[in-house]
Amino acid sequence: MDKYEIIIYWSEEDNIFVAEVPELPGCMAHGSTHDSALNNVKDAMALWIDTAKKM
């Protein structure tokens, strides 16, 4: 999972950190802290990749 770029930014509108993975379209997650957003997006990446392999 470490080979993918992860962009984490603060959303003023939602008051949360948002994490996006540009190389995996639609793969994103959020969290109340930077670390929680990062952990959540790593879970989302695993699901995204697993789903892509099955298709």
Give per-residue pLDDT as tens, 1-55. 679 999 999 999 999 999 999 999 999 999 999 999 999 999 999 999 999 999 9
User: What pLDDT score was predicted for residue 2?
Assistant: 73
User: What pLDDT score was predicted for residue 49?
Assistant: 96
User: What pLDDT score was predicted for residue 4?
Assistant: 96
Local structure of 33: helix, strand or coil? coil
Contact 44, 29 (CB under 8 A): yes
Q: In sequence order, which residues have a C-beta less than 8 Å from that of residue 45 and are 6 or more positions away?
A: 1, 4, 21, 24, 27
Q: Taken in order 32, 18, 21, 26, is the CA torsion positive or negative?
A: positive
